[in-house]
A and B are shown apart, each in its own frame.
Chain A
Amino acid sequence: EDQVTQSPEALRLQEGESSSLNCSYTVSGLRGLFWYRQDPGKGPEFLFTLYSAGEEKEKERLKATLTKKESFLHITAPKPEDSATYLCAVLAAGNKLTFGGGTRVLVKP
């Protein structure tokens, strides 16, 4: 059974305090890994797609990396507006997409 686990469940950061979120997965035949951002009361918003181990993508203060077993979302010098829930989702063989439970990030000024 495909599994996607995100850690930690919640993260409290001071503004400017860099940190990383983890998404570990056990799937058969990885076809892609997605990161989304979700604000309260809103739907998830697409951030990145990673396809193979070693790949990296960046957008403003966010950087996503991928290994054979996990992905990291690094938040560099976060600002309060980076507060959100970050979701990862893994696309496996058979086009099955499995979401993790998310990491709630709170950045305090």
Chain B
Amino acid sequence: NAGVTQTPKFQVLKTGQSMTLQCAQDMNHNSMYWYRQDPGMGLRLIYYSASEGTTDKGEVPNGYNVSRLNKREFSLRLESAAPSQTSVYFCASSEAGESNSPLHFGNGTRLTVT
């Protein structure tokens, strides 16, 4: 039982390059999330998907797009990377319809944009 798996673990991009961060969960959760974590700022929500087929913006969506590929997979795309997007990105999932159920996180993707 792997939980939430994120790939890649590390990535270095040049300004203007694009990439997709992958996330998969095997807990049969309906809700999935993308967060970024920056020093001193706490985790901030980029996008979330309450259920398969739906996606919504979070607190900091600019510069990102997401795709809920199926119930298991939720990807995050940077179309034109900027240095301000240097961060650690976490994918998370939670049980369906239970907004007060805890989040289960992956181990993150560390992205550097030069």
Contact = CB atoms under 8 A, between A and B. Distances in A.
Interface of A: 4, 31-32, 34, 41-46, 49, 51, 87, 89, 91, 95, 97-102
A100 B41 CA distance: 8
A46 B95 CA distance: 14
7 contacts: A42-B108, A45-B105, A46-B103, A46-B104, A51-B100, A91-B100, A97-B45
A99 B100 contact: no
A43 B37 CA distance: 10
A87 B103 CA distance: 12
B100 A32 contact: yes
Interface in B14-51: 40-45
A102 B41 CA distance: 9
A44 B106 CA distance: 8
Contacts of B4: 43
